[in-house]
Chains A and B, each alone.
Chain A
Amino acid sequence: MADIVARDLSVPVAGRQLTLHKFARRKSTIAFVMALPLILVVACLVIYPAFYSISLAMMNKSMQYFNIFTSKNNFTFLFGRPTFWMVVEQTVLFAVTAVIFKALIGFIAAHFVHNLPAQGQRKWRGMLLIPWVIPPAMSTLAWLWLFDPSYSAFNWVFAHLGIPQVAWLGNPYWARFCVILVNVWVGSPFFLIMYLAALKSVPEQLHEAAAIDGANWLQKIWYVNLPMMRNIIQITALFSLIVTFANFDIVKILTNGGPVDQTHVFATWAFQWAIWGNDIPLGASISLFMAPILAIAAFLILRNVSRRGNEA
C-alpha cells in the first residue's frame, strides 16, 4: 500500500502538530470521506431497515406498542396458523429443488458448451444466457400465458398428442411445479456461466493425465472436474439459494400465492399481509424468517471465499 502521507502520530517528531488543515489532508480522512456515501447508503437503506424490521415484528398491528412479551404477539399468531407452516415448507421446497435443478442443468450445459470449438462457444453461450437477461417479471408473464387455463400453448400440443390437458396453475401440485420450473428457467444460465468459467480454469493436463490413467468421460467429470470446481459450485449454489429463497417476482406474477395459498413464499406472503392486509408488523415478522437461512448461507459463502483467497 502506497503509505505516503500517513502520519504516524504515536511517534512525535519534532515540529509536527496536528492542525485542522493537516487532518483534512490526511490520507485516511480523504479515504473516509470518499467512502462516506457508501456508508450512508448502507446504513440508512440496509442496516437501519433491517433492525427496524426486527423492531416492527415485535409490535402489534396498529404499531402502538410492543406486544412481543405478551401471549398474543405476531409470532404466536404465525406459529398457530397452518398457512404459515405451509409457507415455510413451500419456500424451502422451492429454494432447494430449484437450486438443485439449476445446478444440474448449469453443470451439464457447461460441459457441453465447453466441448465445442472455441469460436462456436460464444454463439451458444449467448443464446443460453437470454433467460437471465430478460427481466424476470417479463418472462414470468410469458410463462403465465403459456400456462393459461384456456389458451395454454402446452395444452394445445398435448391435445394434439392425445395427452390429457393439465390445469397448470389451477392445480396446487402443478402450480408448485410451474413455480419451480420458471425459477429454474430464469436461474440456470447464471449457473451455466459460472460453471463454464470454472471449467475453463481446470488445467487440461489433468484431463490428459486422467485419460492416460484410463478414465472415461464420466470418471473424468467425477474425479477431475468436480473437485476442481468444488469451490465455485458451492459459492454459486449458496448465492442462488439466497436469491431463490427470497424470490418475489415469479410467485407474485405467476400464481400470487395461489391456489389456496399453496405456492406462497415468505416474500409474497409478507407482501400480502403488509400491503394488502395493512398489517405491517406481521409482514415484517414473516419476512424475518428469511434471515436465519440468509445468515447461514452468507457465513458459508464468506468462509468459502476467504478460503479460496488463501489458496490462491
Chain B
Amino acid sequence: MAQVALRNIVKTFDRTPAVQGIDLDIADREFIVLVGPSGCGKSTTLRMIAGLEEATSGEIFIGDQLVNDVPPKDRDIAMVFQNYALYPHMTVFENMSFGLRLKKFPKPEIKERVQVAARILDITDLLDRRPKQLSGGQRQRVAMGRAIVRNPKVFLFDEPLSNLDAKLRVQMRTEIKKIHQQVTTTTVYVTHDQVEAMTLADRVVIMNAGRIDQIGSPHEVYHTPKTQFVAGFIGSPTMNMLPCRLVENGSGLTVRLSDWLSFPVPPSRAARYRPRVGSELTFGLRPEHIIEGRGEVPPGAAAFQARLDVVEPMGMETMVYFVVDGVEVCGRVNPAAAGRVGESMRLVADLNQMHLIDPRSELVL
C-alpha cells in the first residue's frame, strides 16, 4: 500500500559518491529513522525518495510504483524541512493549504483538512498569524501541519528538530511520537541525533559513509550492534572500546586488557570466540555495565579495582573514569557509592554484555 522500497540506490555528485548502494524496505505505517554522522548520505537518500535529487542508479518504489522519473509533486509525499521552509508572506492557514490550493481542492474541504490538522497539532489559534510571529516550536508544528494536511503516502522529515533548543527538542520529540500514533502514515525520519533515533523509531537505519551499517529495532542496534561504528554511535555515553588480546587458559577464555586488568569470557560466548584465540581484538562494554562493586558478584560479571581519574556527578548517577593503558574508561555508579578522584574503587563489569570487535573488518563478533 504505502511502503517504500529502495533497490541498490547509488548517488554520485561530480565523481564523489554520496550514497553507495542502499537497499531498504519500509513497511506500511512504519516509522523508520535514518541516522548517522554528517556526510553519511542520509539526507541525500531522503531527498531521493522525495524526488529533489535524482538517483544516479537504482530504483525507488513508493507503493508499487516506480517513481524514479516522477516529479515530487506527483509522488504523493510530504516533507518537513530542518529550517521549516514556511512561506513568509502567507498566514499559517495559507501555508498549510498551499498544496491543496494548487491542486484546486474545493474550499470547504481545504478548510476542514486544515482544521483537523491544526487540532492535532494544537495550533488552531495560530491560523491567522504569519511565520515571523511564531516561535521555533510553533513554526515546526505548522511545517508538520502542512505535511499532514496533504494526507500523503509517506512523510519525510529532514532533521526537523536540529534548529530547536535542547529542551524544546525533547518536547517536540514526544509530540512527534504522539502524532504518529494518531496519524499513522509511513514516516521516513532523518537525524544525526541517536537519541531521537532510539526514541522515535520502529526501526533504525544506521548509515555510515554512504552505506547502511545496520538496520534493526532500537533494542537490536543497542544490544546487538553489528559493526564497530554502530556500537560506538548508538548509546550515550559511548561504549567503552579498548584494545585487548584474547587468550585461553585452563579455566576458559580471558580478555586481557592490560597488565593489571583481565576479564573472563562468559562460557556462553566461549564457542563463538574460540576461533579467535590469540588475536588482538577490540573489547567493547557500555558504561552502564560497569557499576559499583558491592557484595556478591553475579555470574558472568567480574570485579576489579581501579583508581578514579575523573568523577562526574550527574545527580541521578555518577560517571567515573579510570585509565587502562592510556585509554579512559567510563563507568556508571550510584552516587552514594562513588569514590573520590585519586582513590581506588571497587567496580563490577557485567561481561554478559560485552562485545568483541575485529579491528580490521570492524565487525562485531
A interface residues with partner B (beta carbon < 8 Å): 2-6, 8, 11, 13, 16
User: Which of chain A's residues has its CB closest to B55's CB?
Assistant: A13
Q: Which residues of B contact A6 (CB under 8 A)?
A: 54
Q: Which of A4, A8, A11 touches B51 (beta carbons < 8 Å)?
A: A4
* A-chain residues with CB within 8 Å of residue B69 when the two chains form the complex: 16
A residues less than 8 Å from B52 (CB atoms): 2-4
- B-side contacts of A8, CB under 8 Å: 54, 56
B2 to chain A minimum Cβ distance, whole angstroms, is 23
Q: Does B264 contact A (CB under 8 A)?
A: no
Tell me the minimal C-beta distance from B314 to chain A in angstroms: 37
Per the bound structure, the CA–CA distance linking A114 and B45 in Å amounts to: 51
Say whether B71 faces chain A, with CB atoms less than 8 Å apart. Answer: yes
A8 to B69, CA, bound (A): 12
Shortest beta-carbon distance, B65 to chain A, in Å?
A: 15
CB 8 Å contact bits of B34-64 with A (1 = contact, 0 = none): 0000000000000000011110110000000
Q: Does B235 contact A (CB under 8 A)?
A: no
Q: List 16 A-B pairs, Cβ < 8 Å.
A: A2-B52, A3-B52, A3-B53, A3-B54, A4-B51, A4-B52, A4-B54, A4-B71, A4-B72, A5-B71, A6-B54, A8-B54, A8-B56, A11-B56, A13-B57, A16-B69
List residues of B whose CB falls within 8 A of some A CB: 51-54, 56-57, 69, 71-72
Give chain A's interface secondary structure class: loop
Could you tell me the distance between the alpha carbons of A2 and B72 in the complex, rounded to whole angstroms?
A: 11
Q: For residue A4, which residues in chain B have a CB less than 8 angstroms away from its CB?
A: 51-52, 54, 71-72
Q: What distance in Å separates the Cβ of B272 from its nearest Cβ neighbour in chain A?
A: 45
Q: How far is the CA of A163 from the CA of B69 in the complex (A)?
A: 85
Q: Which 8 A-B pairs have the closest CB atoms?
A: A2-B52, A5-B71, A4-B71, A4-B52, A3-B53, A4-B51, A4-B72, A3-B54
CA distance A5 to B53 in the complex (A): 9
CA distance A11 to B72 in the complex (A): 22
Min CB gap B158→A, angstroms: 14
Could you tell me the distance between the alpha carbons of A4 and B69 in the complex, rounded to whole angstroms?
A: 10
Residues of the B chain whose Cβ atoms lie less than 8 Å from the Cβ of A16: 69
Docked Cα-Cα span, A47 to B359, in Å, equals 66
Residue on B nearest A2 in the bound complex, by CB: B52
Q: How far is A8 from B55 in the complex, measured between Cα atoms in Å?
A: 11
Complex Cα spacing A13 to B57, Å:
8
Question: A29 → chain B, closest Cβ, in Å?
Answer: 16
Q: How far in angstroms is the closest Cβ of chain A from B241?
A: 40
Measured CB to CB, the closest approach of chain B to A28, in angstroms, equals: 14
**Please, how many angstroms separate the alpha-carbon atoms of A13 and B56 in the complex?**
9
A27 to chain B, nearest CB (A): 11
Residues of chain B contacted by A13 (CB below 8 angstroms): 57
**Distance, CA A8 to CA B51, complexed state (A):** 15
Report the Cα distance A294→B69, complex, angstroms: 50
**Complex Cα gap A2–B57 (Å):** 19
A19 → chain B closest CB, angstroms:
14
Bound CA–CA A3/B53 (angstroms): 6
- Minimum CB–CB distance from A61 to chain B (whole Å) comes to 57
* Cβ–Cβ < 8 Å partners of B57 in chain A: 13
Bound-complex Cα distance A16 to B71 (A) = 15
> Please, how many angstroms separate the alpha-carbon atoms of A147 and B61 in the complex?
81
**Cβ distance A2 to chain B, nearest Cβ, rounded Å:** 6
Residues of B within 8 A of A5 (CB): 71
Find the A residue at minimum CB distance from B51. A4
List B contacts of A11 (CB < 8 A): 56
In this complex, what residue of B is CB-closest to A15? B69
**7 additional A-B residue pairs with CB within 8 Å, beyond A3-B53, A4-B51:** A3-B52, A3-B54, A4-B72, A5-B71, A6-B54, A11-B56, A16-B69
In the complex, what distance in Å separates the CA atom of A6 from the CA atom of B13? 13
Bound state CA distance, A303 and B51, in angstroms? Answer: 38
Q: How far is the CB of A258 from chain B (nearest CB, A)?
A: 55
- Determine the residue in chain A with the shortest Cβ distance to B68: A13
Closest to A5 in B: B71
Question: What residue in chain A is nearest B56 (Cβ atoms)?
Answer: A11
Report B-chain residues with C-beta under 8 Å of the C-beta of A2.
52
- How far does the alpha carbon of A16 sit from the alpha carbon of B69 in the complex, in Å? 10
Whole-angstrom distance between the Cβ of B101 and the nearest chain A Cβ: 21
The residue in chain B whose Cβ has the minimal distance to the Cβ of A6 is: B54
Assembled-state Cα–Cα distance A11/B56 (Å): 9
Cα A8 to Cα B52 with chains together (Å):
14
Taking the nearest CB of chain B, how far is it from the CB of A297, in angstroms? 36
What is the CA–CA distance of A3 and B52 in the complex, to the nearest angstrom? Answer: 7
Q: Nearest Cβ distance between residue B203 and chain A, in whole angstroms?
A: 29
Kindly provide the distance from the CB of B154 to the nearest chain A CB, expressed in whole angstroms: 18
Q: Chain A nearest CB: distance from B11 CB in Å?
A: 11
B54 to chain A, nearest CB (A): 7
Chain A residue nearest in CB terms to B69: A16
A80 to chain B, nearest CB (A): 59
B72 (CB) vs chain A CBs: closest residue:
A4
Q: In the complex the two chains form, what is the Cα distance from A6 to B52 in whole Å?
A: 11
Instruction: State A16–B68 Cα separation when bound (angstroms).
Output: 12
B156, chain A: closest CB distance, angstroms = 15
Residue of A nearest to B53 (CB): A3
Could you tell me the distance in whole angstroms from the C-beta of A8 to the nearest C-beta in chain B? Answer: 7
In the complex, A280 Cα to B69 Cα: how many Å? 59
Which residues does chain A contribute within 8 Å of B53, judged by CB atoms? 3
Determine the chain A residues whose CB is within 8 A of the CB of B51 once the complex forms.
Answer: 4
What are the residues of chain A within 8 A of B71 when measuring CB–CB?
4-5
Q: How many Å lie between the Cα of A3 and that of B54 in the bound state?
A: 8
B45 to A: closest C-beta gap in Å: 16
